[in-house]
């Protein structure tokens, strides 16, 4: 089995030496996505954690779509957040994206994230070919 690099202009370019995603067999691993606008490369700094979460999840969705998957194929998400007091707001935005299928998830409070972001979301999806 060979790994296929997933790359799309509909999600921000990687901010380090890694791929946006990797497809290995029927499994897709999406690297952590920050709330960065893929068109401008600018981190959202509007102060609205729900919007930051939405942007991060839109970026996850774009990478999945490039690999031939959807959010319904996601089996596991990990959410990293700087302020756990915003957990409920993050959940509200997260629930907008996972309606039919609710994947397993972990959420970690962290001291800092790349570029000073407040939230980052990574995902693993499995597609049936």
The DSSP output letter for 50 is: H
Catalytic hit among 22, 107, 124, 127: 107
The reply to whether 77 belongs to the active site is no
Cβ count within 10 A of residue 85: 10
Taking the C-alpha atoms of residue 54 and residue 90, their distance in angstroms, rounded to an integer, is 9
Strand spans (E) along 1-128 = 3-6, 21-24, 27-33, 74-81, 104-109, 119-126
Evaluated on CA atoms 52, 56, 59, 61, the torsion sign reads negative
Q: Which residues are catalytic?
A: 107
């Amino acid at each position: 089995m060979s790994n296929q690099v997933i790359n799309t202009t509909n999600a921000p370019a990687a901010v380090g030496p890694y791929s946006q995603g990797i497809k290995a067999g029927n499994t897709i691993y999406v690297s952590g996505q920050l709330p960065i606008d893929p068109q401008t490369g600018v981190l959202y700094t509007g102060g609205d954690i729900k919007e930051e979460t939405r942007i991060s999840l839109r970026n996850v969705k774009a990478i999945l779509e490039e690999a031939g998957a959807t959010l319904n194929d996601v089996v596991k998400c990990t959410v990293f957040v700087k302020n756990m007091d915003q957990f409920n707001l993050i959940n509200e935005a997260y629930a907008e994206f996972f309606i039919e299928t609710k994947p397993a998830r972990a959420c970690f409070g962290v001291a800092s994230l790349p570029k000073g972001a407040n939230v980052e979301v990574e995902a693993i999806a499995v597609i049936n070919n």
